[in-house]
Structure 1
Amino acid sequence: MPAESPLLRRALFALLVAAIASLLLVLLLRALLPGGISALEWAILACIGLTTPWAALSAANALVGLVILLRAPDPAAAVLPALARAKPGPPNSITALLVCLRNEPMEAVLPPLTTLLQGLDQHGAADRFRLWLLSDTQDPEAVAAEEAAIRPFLAAHPTARYRRRAENTGYKAGNVMDALDHHLTEETFFLTLDADSVMTPAAVLRLVAVMEADPRLGIVQQLIVGRPATAAFPRLFQFGMRAGMRAWATGQAWWQMDAGPYWGHNAILRVAPFRDHAKLEPLPDGSRILSHDMVESVRLQSAGWAVRCLPAEEGSLEANPPALPEFLRRDERWGAGNMQYVHLFRVPGMTWLGRLQLAQAILLFLGAPLYVLALILAAANGLTGGGAGTPMGLLALAILAHGLCYFAPKLAGYAQVLLQPRLAETYGGRAAFARGALAELVFMQLFEPLSNLNKAMFLALLPFGARPGWLPQNRADRGVTWGDATRMLWPHTVIGLLLTAAFASLSWSALALALPVTAGLILAVPLCVFTADPRLSAWLRARGIAATPEELAQGAPVLRTTAPAPRRGDGGFPVPASN
């Protein structure tokens, strides 16, 4: 069977996933079997068993990705053959640049677009691109500010266009489709940008060249990394996220091949097939699909179009939420959107791999309540006399193995940088990179359990009408007061204290196994406050901790949003949403 056969690659990858999953389950069973398995322990086993496919998938993606990153002369071309055939220079086709807006601070949105347009002009390709500012802004004051800021921009860039919808039907997906249906004419491709997206002219031209090199391509999604940030929270979070996504996306692209992902922005799409196949109808209950991007990718795949990932970082950036409250609210919206996928499995014409991608997106969030439930069941099991015969050493090994698989993409990304001196130099050297990695690992050990509990709480309320809404996104750096953090996170803290007390009453070894999880819950409020504190942020920046290559590059701007004070929501927090 040819080496490029999708069937062979996916079969080999499935065997790797199955082997890793089997190892994880065997370790857990060996820890639970001595003394017999109680009813609560069977429930724990079921919870962890349902999370095991995601952990195994993460580890397999990481292993494959790391091998490619270390051995391939050009890892991106190794998983995207059209990249090697792409021709440099101005493109033949015309591409629309679609920027979706909704109550955005235009002083932060327009400068990167000015730089992009000027750069395309310098490459002799300005006449090959059409910029569209697609607004869904509804608030009258925000509309007035938006239009006032855009007028001089349009005067300086006569080929740019601005359109605002009176009604934001279908949210961002509806915004884009409206532009395709009513405004785009001669464009062959369109490139989607969020309000916080930054792409370089070279990255944009490369995406167009890849599309022109392969007429089968419907979507090419480039990897997206975090813009240099001043605030501690996004600085630490995106340092690890970047490493993990590089390994994950490379490994995933190897076996998914033409059935890749779409993340909604920093991607290029072919106009005609997207217009024909990616219109999203309301769900059976009349609601609109929130997490539209994966569904659009699956629709194009089902129609026979290739969707590929370009796992290259250069020239493709976005801003991450500036503080923990915005991050948690974004996660809730994503979780609500991903849970909608349960209604889509019976859509006619969908491929088996498309259904697998939707299931994978569901598992990404469904794992959170399963982990939380397993922890609660473990405490209940111990308090009711169960687990007396459990070898704590074997249990610790099983927990460690599961955690290593869960975080394998990030660890693989860290290993790549430490093993490649030239890449490490872009981070200021191995020592500087290791300091950033250590700080991020400590941060994530506290943050990940908190994030999982918050997702679990939200998903538990979702069937009873809890909805995150679709509101303006706060992108501005800000501090968080102790009062605000306490009002938002006191349930997480109480749950952490109760669980810690329960495990402490059992044994020191039980407490030691639980603390890596419960500590993040107990410290939720200070974690929220300190990671938004300008003093900690300044301390990290001054020492170059968790600095990215873009930040260290000569003259690279650090993202420091100076937006007006955001509208306040319940509990005194800015009301977040997403594009």
Structure 2
Amino acid sequence: MDGVAASAHREEAGPRVVLPALPDEAPLAMPVQSLARGGRVALPPGPRAVLLARRGFVIGGAGLLTLFAAYQMYLVLNVGGLTVLEGITLGLFVILFAWIGFSFTNALGGALAMLRHRRGGELGIDPAAPLPPLSTRTAILMPTYNEAPARVFAGLQATYESLAGTGAIAAFDFFILSDTTDADFWVAEEAEFLALRARLGGGARLFYRRRARNTDRKAGNIADWVTRFGGAYDNMLVLDADSVMTGDCIVRIAGAMELNPHVGLIQTLPMIVGGRTLFARMQQFAGRLYGPLLAQGLAWWHGPDSNYWGHNAIIRTRAFAGCAGLPHLKGRKPFGGHILSHDFVEAALIRRGGWAVHMVPWLEGSYEEGPPSLTDLAVRDRRWCQGNLQHAAVLPGRGLHPVSRLHLLTGIGSYITAPLWLIMLLAGLLTALQARFVPPDYFPSEFSLFPSWPAQDPVRAAWVFVGTMAVLLLPKLIGYALMLRDRTTRQGFGGGAHAFASLLTETLIAGLAAPIMMLAQSASVASILAGRDGGWQPQRRGDGSVGLRETMRHFAPHTLFGLVLGGAALAISLPLFLWMTPVVVGLVLAIPLVLWTSSVRAGFTGSRLLTTPEQASPPAVLVRANVLAAEIAARPAADEAVARLIGDPELLAAHRAMLPDFGRRLPGDHAPERLVARAKVDDAPDLKAALRLMSSREKAAALGDAEVLESLLELAARDGAGARD
């Protein structure tokens, strides 16, 4: 029997109250999709001509900008002929300018959308209108993997309470879907689940399930829920462990799913909140000031062919089950196996199946947190890099919409561009070296009236640089100008002057950090191409303070590379060194920059610098989440899982009841950590020795096996009896 029949109980003064940990199963088939077969199902007729015009503006505009920039760069380099190195530099420049040009025209589209936005939009979501009545059922899914339970359950309770405040709570159930492998976190999750039920009295709407084996990571976690319980729900709203959403936002997107039966997925724009370190507050400010502009641009020209970011989105369960069963890619890791960056692929498959995928960036009430330091961003980026490069195998899949292929291509490009920038930087350095030290060839092998020598046009080069910087930075100024139009938003940023000072601060620090991330992403790409799998590490949140030793281990190579690069440039010429100063300074200062930006004390928390509307006037749901997180974290509790179970009979009974198959080993289950844990516990003379002998995964396996758990409890009882004697 499965954990479906399991129950957690709470002893009260009266009779025992039995609350099921999971509802009755409602299986829903989720067949694995083929990338080699399948055609695209057409959407219902819509305003396609308008959409094509918008796409022509964004994509065609980026193409025209790139052609003009490429011609100007050709004139810069083609003085006395184009050498091989200059040709390489030109080719890389064209590719990289196309990348930033595409972002620029997307921002222009976003500005048009924000200036001409119609209330309600294509999906009929009008934030000013009364909340729609709901007749469908939606499951809110909170996947978690070795996350601090205080943060997870505080955010979930705040979301639950906000949703209850709308009066529509009857249409929603909440599921905590744990893939946690750390035994101490696992038992803490169970304790917080019971406490949350007791606080809310919502036993019929709050459910918890932990998988013993986290097959296929988050995608497998969601797929497991779909195949077991998805048949009972029209929609599922997928959160992340740090997600918080308002009830108003949730009810409106659920209502939009009812109003638009052809829509398979609606993605909100999560605002980054809760930043305490300087790095986190920079991301928070940038995401709040520039993020809506860029997201509005995407929604403007994507239309029903939009993308999925993996969380804070509502999905039609039937569409997901029927279209988004992910195949395993052929070959070995890091390119083969299960798909790490699953969200882009799921959106592409849902769209292939004839369901619309929309983004609603104008709808407020969706929040998440960002990484607290450059170190954490680099670690997370390594996993995303591997997942996005896997998309090269998905890109030629049959039946995918061209815009879906563009999503996959931009995901790949977001990491491939880093080594391309690095190669262009080195090629430019070698070109300058060639121009200074290589003598002209007065006697070329082919007849020529003039000698051939490497040379460039410095004046035109300066103008190309200015133009490139303008294309790169103008979206920030556009976002700032649009912010000034709204008095409430402007005050939320601390006023126009403070917002502009924040813009300059963020741009300066981000400029120094850019070469660090360029080198980090280049190293990630090289590592993945060499066949090294990056694995999956849980994210750190909150305080981003990083020790000096860890920072030096991560960023000493960046400093060394910066010194070598600066020395080489200075050896060639002083003007070249000054030209490359922004890159060199960022790399040389990598270690102090990371330490400084990861500090809470350096976060300008006492000033209006880098402030955002959500920080200046926090929404009620965020205030409630922070209060709850502090209350939960302050409660005294044993950190060690076995001690916690022994000290809380109610938790122990619930733990036993929630074990899949009641903790019995089924035939064919030969998981090595389970068998090793059993042997180590059998051999241990006492509980302390048993816990010391087991690894983290073995301890989790022991607590998931009813017989081994009883052995641990017997060791604890024996230790207690010995202590009394």
Q: TM-score, normalised by structure 1?
A: 0.92
| Structure 1: distance between partners of 2:403 and 2:544 | 42
* Separation in 2, partners of 1:484, 1:527: 14
1:65 aligns with 2:100: no
Q: Does 1:401 align with 2:467?
A: yes
| CA shift for structure 1 position 559 | 6.5
1:227 to 1:84, Cα distance in 2 relative to 1, 3 A? closer
Whether contact under 8 Å (1:87, 1:213) holds in the other structure is no
Amino acid aligned to 2:105: A
> 333, 358, 372: which is aligned to 2:422?
372
User: Which range moved further: 147-156 or 56-65?
Assistant: 147-156
Deviation at 1:2, TM superposition (A): 6.1
Q: Does 1:41 align with 2:106?
A: no
Which deviates further from its counterpart, 59-68 or 462-471? 462-471
Structure 1 residues 296-348: Cα deviation after superposition (integer angstroms, max 9, x where no partner): 00001111110011012621111101111111111111111100011112322
Helix, strand or coil at the partner of 2:238 = strand
CA shift in 2, pair 1:353/1:67, >3 Å: closer
Measured in 2, the distance between the counterparts of 1:276 and 1:87 equals 33
**C-alpha displacement of 1:4:** 5.2
Find the residue that maps to 1:100 and give its secondary structure: strand
3-state SS of the aligned residue for 1:283?
coil
What letter is aligned with 1:443? I
Deviation at 1:246, TM superposition (A): 1.1
User: Percent same amino acid among aligned pairs?
Assistant: 31
The code of the aligned residue for 1:220 comes to: I
Q: How much has 1:505 moved relative to structure 2?
A: 2.4
**1:358 alignment partner in structure 2:** 408
The SS at the match of 2:493 is coil
| Structure 2 SS opposite 1:254 | helix
Alignment pair present for 1:82 and 2:124: yes
- Alpha-carbon distance, 1:381 to partner: 1.7
Inter-CA distance 82–248: structure 2 relative to 1 (3 Å threshold): same
- Counterpart mapping for 1:281-430 below 5 A: 281-285=327-331, 286-312=336-362, 314-385=364-435, 389-430=455-496
Q: 147-156 or 35-44: which moved more?
A: 147-156
Residues 329 and 468 in structure 1, CA contact (< 8 A), matched pair in contact too: no
Among 597, 604, 616, the residue aligned to 1:552:
616
**Structure 2 gap segments, 5+ residues each:** 1-45, 437-452, 640-725
Partners of 1:166 and 1:404 in 2: CA distance? 52
Q: Distance in 2 between matches of 1:120 and 1:342?
A: 40
Alignment partner, residue 54 of structure 2: 9
Distance verdict in 2 for CA 1:559–1:56, change over 3 Å: farther
> How far 1:393 sits from its partner (Å)?
2.9
Q: CA deviation at 1:84?
A: 4.7
Alpha-carbon shift at residue 408 of structure 1 (Å):
4.4
- The amino acid across from 1:99 in the alignment is M
Taking a change above 3 Å as real, the CA distance of residues 467 and 238 of structure 1, as seen in their structure-2 partners, is farther
Other-structure match for 2:443: none
Does the 8 Å CA contact 2:492/2:611 hold for their aligned counterparts?
no
> Which residue of 1 is the match for residue 322 of structure 2?
276
Shift of 1:73: 5.5
- In the alignment, is the contact (CA less than 8 A) between 1:51 and 1:363 conserved in 2? no
Instruction: Supply the distance in 2 between the matched residues of 1:408 and 1:300 (Cα, whole angstroms).
Output: 35
Counterpart position of 1:489: 555
**Whole-Å Cα distance in 2 between the matches of residues 417 and 478 of structure 1?**
29
Deviations 1:383-410 (A, max 9, x none): 2336963222322322332333344443
**Equivalent in the alignment of 1:94:** 137
Q: Is the 8 A contact 1:237 1:444 kept in 2?
A: no
Name which of structure 1's ranges 14-23 and 39-48 shifts more when overlaid on structure 2.
Answer: 14-23
Between stretches 387-396 and 289-298, larger displacement belongs to 387-396
CA deviation after TM superposition for structure 1 residue 216, in Å: 1.2
CA distance in 2, matches of 1:313, 1:230: 25
Contact 2:373 2:597 in 1 (8 A): yes
CA deviation string 1:345-393 (max 9, x = no partner): 2322222222222111111111111001100111122223369632223
1:435 aligns with 2:517: no
Task: Give the aligned partner of residue 236 of structure 1.
Answer: 282
1:151 match = 194
Amino acid aligned to 1:101? T
Secondary structure of 2:276's counterpart equals coil
Distance 1:469 1:251 in 2: 34
**Cα deviation code 1:26-56 (max 9, x no counterpart):** 2222221223221111111122222232212
Does 2:182 align with 1:139? yes
| SS at 1:542 equivalent | coil
Question: Counterpart of 2:533 in 1: which secondary structure?
Answer: coil
2:211 to 145, 165, 168: 165
Alignment RMSD, CA only? 2.3
**Aligned residue number for residue 175 of structure 1:** 221
- The one-letter code of the counterpart of 1:384 is Q
Q: Quick check: 1:392–1:509 contact (8 Å CA) kept in 2?
A: no
SS of equivalent to 2:572: coil
**Equivalent position of 2:599 in the other structure:** 533
> Which deviates further from its counterpart, 453-462 or 42-51?
42-51
Query: Structure 1 residues 266, 41: CA separation in 2 closer, same or farther (over 3 Å shift)?
Result: same
| Cα distance per residue 1:190-222 (max 9 Å; x no partner) | 101000011111111111122122111111101
Rounded to whole Å, the distance in 2 between the matches of 1:214 and 1:415 is 34
- Contact 2:275–2:542 (CA<8 Å) still a contact in 1? no
Partner of 2:158: 115
Q: Secondary structure at the match of 2:552?
A: helix
Q: Provide closer, same or farther for how the CA distance between residues 350 and 73 of structure 1 changes in structure 2, counting only shifts above 3 A.
A: closer
Matched positions, count: 560
Conserved 8 A contact 1:224-1:313: no
- Spell out the pairing of 1:438-453 with structure 2 (5 A cutoff): 438-453=504-519
Query: Which amino acid in structure 1 is aligned with residue 59 of structure 2?
Result: A
CA distance in structure 2 between the partners assigned to 1:169 and 1:2 by the alignment: 42
Q: What's the CA shift for 1:466?
A: 2.4
Rounded Cα–Cα distance in structure 2 between residues aligned with 1:6 and 1:522: 46
Instruction: Give the stretch that moved more between structures: 519-528 or 462-471.
Output: 462-471
Other-structure match for 1:207: 253
Task: Work out whether residues 243 and 409 of structure 1, in 8 Å CA contact, stay in contact via their aligned partners in 2.
Answer: no
**Separation of aligned partners in 2, 1:396 and 1:505:** 21
The 2-side partners of 1:476 and 1:423 are apart by 26
Partner Cα distance (2:475, 2:497) in 1: 21
Which residue number corresponds to residue 192 of structure 1? 238
- Establish whether residue 24 from structure 1 lines up as the match of residue 88 from structure 2: no
Structure 1 distance, partners of 2:162, 2:284, is 27
Tell me, yes or no, if the aligned pair for 1:458 and 1:466 is still in contact at 8 Å: no
Whole-angstrom distance in 2 between the partners of 1:289 and 1:21 = 33
Unaligned runs of 5+ in 1: 567-579
Q: State the structure with more CA Rg.
A: 2
Residue deviations 1:474-531 (CA, integer Å, cap 9, x gap): 1130422333211210111111111112222233332222112222111110111001
* Cα shift readout 1:214-272 (whole Å, capped 9, x = no counterpart): 11111110111111311111101221133332111111211111110100001111000
Alignment check: 8 A CA contact 2:158 2:244 kept: no
Greater mean deviation of Cα atoms: 456-465 or 94-103: 456-465
Summarize the Cα distance change of 1:20–1:409 in structure 2 as closer, same or farther, 3 Å threshold. same
